[in-house]
Amino acid sequence: MAFPNEKELKKIRKKLRKAEGFLMLDPNADELTRFRFEICQEFLKYAQERRMTAVQMAKMLGIPKADMSRIFNHRLDRFSTDKLIRLYAKIRPEYRLEVA
């Protein structure tokens, strides 16, 4: 496979400018942000362990594929913590949230 020419590279760069990737956890994140990040990590682990795609996970959880993709990429601005916990309870019904 040959390296792409300059025209193809420009096309790829233009496309990638609009792409949203995986968000990392800020080292200074507060506890709630860390908790929400960990829930997303659990969704990813669950999907990987079962070799499920985002489409399959979305169908199982009853949410749009785009929302599952957002969760997998830690783009949580559209989700309340309550919503994430309710979705998580669908894959881990034994989960209990304890507040100290």
Question: Are 92 and 61 in contact, with CB atoms under 8 Å apart?
Answer: no
How much is the pTM?
Answer: 0.72
Tens of pLDDT along 33-89?
Answer: 899 999 999 999 999 999 999 999 999 999 999 999 999 988 888 899 999 999 999
Q: How confident is the model at residue 17 (pLDDT cuts 50, 70, 90)?
A: low
Hunting for tokens 């960990």 — which residue is that?
Answer: 38
Which of 64, 22, 77, 62 lies closest to 44 in space, CA to CA?
A: 22
Cβ-proximal residues to 97 (8 Å cutoff; 6+ apart), any chain? 85
CA–CA separation, 28 and 65 (whole Å): 30
